[in-house]
Amino acid sequence: MIDTAFLITSFVTLFVIIDPIGLTPIFLALTQGSSPRERRSIALRSAVTATFLLALFTLFGEAVLGFAGISMAAFRVAGGVLLFLTALDMLFERRTKRRENQGEEAVEVEDPSVFPISIPLIAGPGSIATVILLAGQKPGFEGFALVMGVVVAVIIVMLAMFLASGFLERLLGKTGINVVTRLLGMLLAALSVQFVLDGLRDFGFAA
């Protein structure tokens, strides 16, 4: 018999941790200037990559990091530093300027699907720790299937919001997007610092 209470609790927990509603405007800012087709491709790649990563950690948990000699604390610090660099790009429009410098050259558009969207925004320390803990509550194949069902459900909701981000872009206009990009850059910078502080706290440093 399916544990409905476990499914509901797990869905709510993972939904709050991944926060598809909060990620949608960030996705929009990171894909600013992309065509609708490129944005769909980025959204799909992000969803598939994040699902694969979360499935990996659901199956093997901290053993994956432990095999490489990486602690969850180190993962948090590294994710925070990398995310801070992305925040700087958003704050100072470096990403937009790079696209403008490319002009009409036949070069590949910068793809944020793996980093920073899949890692660490979707499959970050919080969501990874969550699936590890959830899988620990329901050991075995049944637990894996239940947790992955919840992961897929949350990712589908997130994907739907990403695909609808074009409407938000049309609603805000270019000026609105620029304002939102800078605001979200500040929020991402703060989030990245929090990742680092959490990691340092886990190492035993006061924060």
Task: Quote the distance between the C-alpha of residue 74 and its chain's center.
Answer: 18
Tell me what the mean pLDDT of segment 140-169 comes to: 90
Tens of pLDDT, residue by residue over 135-144, are: 878 878 888 9
Model pTM?
Answer: 0.71
Instruction: Name the residue with higher pLDDT: 31 or 110.
Output: 31
Tell me what the mean pLDDT of segment 17-26 comes to: 84
CA distance 46 to 54: 12
Tell me what the mean pLDDT of segment 125-132 comes to: 85
Tell me what the mean pLDDT of segment 6-18 comes to: 87
Percentages of the chain per state (helix, strand, coil), in multiples of 5: 85, 0, 15
**100-120 burial code (b ≥16 CB/10 A, e <16):** eeeeeeeeeeeebbebbbbbb
Q: Are 120 and 195 in contact (CB under 8 A)?
A: yes
* Greatest extent of the chain over all pairs of C-alpha atoms, in Å: 58
- Pick from 126-135, 137-146, 173-182: least confident: 173-182
**pLDDT of 104 higher than 50:** no
Closest of 72, 88, 176, 203 to residue 127, by C-alpha:
72
Tens of pLDDT, residue by residue over 37-88, are: 999 999 999 999 999 999 999 998 767 767 878 777 787 788 778 778 877 8
Count of CA atoms in the C-beta half-sphere (13 A) of 114: 2
